Structure 1
Amino acid sequence: MPQIIPIKELKDTARISEMCHASDEPIYITKNGYGDMVFMSMETYERMQHLAHIHREIEHAEEDIAAGRVDDAQEALARTRLKYAL
């Protein structure tokens, strides 16, 4: 479950850091009752960036399939074997 805290609680930076590292999810910061910022640990950020990269790659692959930019697996394997003398 996401954690939501008001911006005035950012004064206690050590506590916010502990919260970020204790959770695998971002911490949402509100200002005047509205979403304002998101804090997270570096590990969480890097994991989210990695997943976003994977999703983009899958999206590109699906676009290639839909556009017919595909190769026969046996032919591609044969070209690879020939190229690298396998």
Structure 2
Amino acid sequence: MPEIRPIKDLRNTMEISELCHQLEEPIFITKNGYGDMVLMSLETYEKSLAKLDLYEKLAQAEKQLNHEESFLEAEQVFEKLKEKYGK
């Protein structure tokens, strides 16, 4: 369940910081009863970016799988490597 806090709670920075690190998920800040900001620890932010990057790479790989012409035979790959490196 998401953590929702009023903007006045930002006055206690240590409590909010500890909560961000403890929950490891975003904290939603409201102003006058409406959503205003989202806070999270740097570690949580970096994990979120890493997950997003992974999902983008998986989507790209799935797209490539659906286009079979993008595949090369192993023999072709080895021939190209031999040509490039001379072994």
Band the TM-score falls in, shorter-chain normalisation: 0.7 to 0.9
Counterparts in 2 of 1:17 and 1:76: CA distance versus 1, 3 Å: farther
Which residue of 2 is the match for residue 2 of structure 1?
A: 2
Which residue of 2 is the match for residue 44 of structure 1?
A: 44
Cα RMSD of the aligned pairs, angstroms, is: 2.3
- Given the two structures, how large is their TM-score scaled by the length of structure 2? 0.78
Structure number with greater Rg is 2
- Given the two structures, how large is their TM-score scaled by the length of structure 1? 0.79
**Percent identical across equivalent pairs?**
43
Q: How many equivalent residue pairs?
A: 86
AA aligned to 1:3 is E
Q: Structure 2: how far apart are the matches of 1:3 and 1:9?
A: 12
Counterparts in 2 of 1:30 and 1:76: CA distance versus 1, 3 Å: farther
Structure 2 unaligned segments of length 5 or more: list them: none
Counterparts in 2 of 1:55 and 1:85: CA distance versus 1, 3 Å: farther
Question: How far 1:34 sits from its partner (Å)?
Answer: 1.8
